[in-house]
Structure 1
Amino acid sequence: MSRIGKKPVPIPSGVTASVDGQEIKVKGPKGELSHVLVDQVIAKMGDDGIEIGMVEDNKDSRAMWGMSRTIVSNLVTGVTEGFSKTLEINGVGYRAAMKGQALQLQLGFSHDVDFEIPKGIEISCPKPTEIVVSGIDKQLVGQVAAEIRRYRPPEPYKGKGVKYAGEYIFRKEGKKK
């Protein structure tokens, strides 16, 4: 049994949530999000918040139960606090800067990489070697951060490239004489 799925998702003050069949809509101070649940689970409004349950008790329903509860919880967290990921750039001459509505990356290529910022995402560069991706949709924030990292992932010898803040880079020893 899912221990996560049993817990109802609390709705804080200032947030309105509605359940219409399989669609859940959450509106808060930062914006509005919606999600359509899979057919194996069912949602209803309860006294403590949104409760997620299984349609029938089988392996697929149990697998979707906890995941669906976490997705709904992320909707509520997104409209109240938002999500952010920090990327760090390591390497001589590697830097990032905002250029209008695009992120300009200098990552050792013969040209600069211009990354168009998708709708619903805010990107800032507090330092030339630091990128902060933020937004209300957790999936979209993670996807944008992964796309930026994909331009130059960290290499194992010197650790040069774009990495997540706090990410451990497994280092290899260089060749010996």
Structure 2
Amino acid sequence: MQTTTQAVIFDIGGVLLDGNTPMPGAVDALARLREAGIPFLLLTNTTRRSHADLLATLHEAGLDVSAQQLLTPARAAAAWLQSHQTHGVLLIHPGLLPDFAGVDTTLIGAKIEATAPRAVIVGDAGEGFTYTTLNAAFRELMAGATLISLSDSRYFREADGLSLDAGPFVRLLE
């Protein structure tokens, strides 16, 4: 039985890019899919870089990708907040703030006047994970807010070694 490819979904890190460098054959693979009329989507679980920043990196690496072909956790969470008319309380890395522009959100710990249902959005907040911010998130959740995790990864590799990702902090709040 012969099958026909209907669409392709790619992870970015380690599949299309190694850091900011295209993997061998990545540029050609996307070009061939485009020529064949096969739609594709790029996914990532990164929670430190905005959609625009990632898209710029892809373009700089020679990967011809449109904004609509890139799906990030922050963009998905922002869309969820809008579709559910929910106020987002953000415990995220500052690099993700542009992805929540125009969405009803506040940073964790800020005074909230919103009356809409709330959701605590947790990504890799890096140095933003403190007792104060985690306790504020805990209190929001105990008051009935929904917990939305941008990543459940335990760790990721940085230039100086492994670092905790959002997963352990999400587990703490569950």
TM-score band by shorter chain is under 0.3
Considering fraction of residues, name the structure with more helix.
2
Considering fraction of residues, name the structure with more strand.
1
Q: State TM-score, norm by structure 1.
A: 0.26
Q: Which has the larger radius of gyration?
A: 1
